[in-house]
Amino acid sequence: MKKQFIALFSTLLILSLGIWGCGKDETETVSIPETVVEEVSAEEEPSSEPIAEESAVKEETGEDANTESEEEENEYPYWWELYDYNLNQEVLAADGEFKNLTIQPGDEPDQIRITWFSKSSSRGKVKFEPENGSIFSNLSAKATTEASVSVPGYYRNCALIDGLDSNTTYYYTLQNGGSESPVYKYKTKDLDSTDFTFTIAGDPEIGLGDAEDVLSGQRSIWRVVLNRMKAQISDSEFLITTGDQVADPASSVHYDYFLDNSVLYSTPLVPVVGNHDNGTGYFGDHFSLPNMSSIGQESGRDGDYWFVKGNALFMVLNSMCPQPTEIHEQFIAEAINANPDAKWRIVVSHYSPITMVERYQGVRESIKAVYDYIGEVFDIDLFIGGHDHIYTRGYFIDEDGDPIDHEDYPIEDDAEDIVNEFDNPEEPIFVIFNGATDALLREPEDYPWAAVCVQNGVPQLTEVHVTEDSITMETHDADSWATIDKFTIYKD
């Protein structure tokens, strides 16, 4: 049924609005028109529920839409029916006074880091004030301002906002010299709660193909994927992208198309260095990473880093660095020693010791023993990876990277028998994620370490809910919001 839906979806787009293609043999594309969303008034409140789909199928085919199959196809909305959150806040122009605004988590839970580019060389400032606060609750901060290494004629600004309060709405603007940005909104949730939600998006790889129509199409898809996240995972506190934010690590245009989206002006982004991000310094120029280590640095400001949310420690590795893979063991030990009370330990890395792509088996061979050692010695609960552009949940693996037929997670031939709940597992769960745009969506090859492997030819998003004693991960096809995998880890 999914294939029928995608085929019908593509046919309607071809007939009415045109299609973009990447011109790559190894890609599958989903096509979104340039006007990807309904022009809803900014005053209207978007629904967090899927919007009922119009009877476009019936109108196109002239068939009765009351059959069981068509009812199933009509369960979800077309992408352009999604509310557009870019209507709420003005998007910065790629050639404007300000551009490439992005937020990262801070060193502490009550902090965030704000980075942007300005045409002015004057020292930047973030005017950051609560909606209903007094002058004493003003958190405005001066930025460090220096010439950008990636965008000629622009200056990099980075400011640390310190002292955030829980469950508070803030408004902020960027300032450089006499220039000031539009006003943007940032909301906090309970900063100390051990019950929280975040989102994972696989590699966006904006710009693969690089023709103007391809870039426009990928920007449109990335836009609706972020709208889908905002609508369906409205309580998400940050977004992890698993690497390859862009296709060309030396293209400021690709970064424009990736970052200039207002959803990212209110959502902290946790970026991972991928093989399409390293080697130029552009990654470190655009992002400001919390608790960054000298370990893993390759091009400056791109080392391993960590942050804490609730009772979870997130450790993000730069698996592209020229240092031996074993060096990350030292970083993880240091991060855990700095946060001994963190119950959940989550490692994020572009590369993974499981992969469903033949050409990546060499990478797998080079890191599998180290990742297995890290998982065992440091009691890691969850590994998050990218690179494949295929959703895969692995079995437990041994030091050779081979699947373990464990009594708590036995290897099964029938998908209905796959274990989806884990009580105090002795091994970490490895999950790698599908692409977040249509830039690259690979078909999986046959390897034994996948318990669940899904490629439906559309981008996907994953909702992760963390509590005091559980982590639940639910992955959706971003167009239909159909669940393709869901599992829970319980820990005493």
Angstrom CA distances, 201 to 16, 137, 149, 433, stand at 29, 34, 27, 7
Q: Please give the pLDDT value at position 76.
A: 46
Q: What is the third-level CATH fold of 196-490?
A: Purple Acid Phosphatase; chain A, domain 2 (3.60.21)
Nearest to 204 by CA among 436, 475, 366: 436
**How far is 48 from 83, CA to CA, in rounded Å?**
10
**297 in Cβ contact with 167 (< 8 Å):** no
With a cut of 50, list the residues of the chain below it in pLDDT. Answer: 1-76
**325 in Cβ contact with 367 (< 8 Å):** yes
Q: Please give the pLDDT value at position 81.
A: 66
**How far is 242 from 276, CA to CA, in rounded Å?**
11
Q: Please give the pLDDT value at position 136.
A: 57
For the domain 110-187, what is the CATH superfamily, name and number?
A: Immunoglobulins (2.60.40.10)
**How far is 349 from 359, CA to CA, in rounded Å?**
18
Global pTM value: 0.85
The contacts found for 409-415 with CB under 8 angstroms, 24 or more apart, are 409/451, 411/448, 411/451, 412/451, 415/452
User: Angle formed by the axes of helices 212-232 and 252-259, to 10°?
Assistant: 30
Residue pLDDT, tens place only, 212-263: 888 888 888 999 999 999 999 999 999 999 999 999 999 999 999 999 899 9
Domain boundaries in the chain?
2-87, 110-187, 196-490
**How far is 159 from 115, CA to CA, in rounded Å?**
7
**How far is 257 from 254, CA to CA, in rounded Å?**
5
**How far is 422 from 44, CA to CA, in rounded Å?**
42
**How far is 235 from 197, CA to CA, in rounded Å?**
6
User: Angle formed by the axes of helices 327-338 and 361-377, to 10°?
Assistant: 30
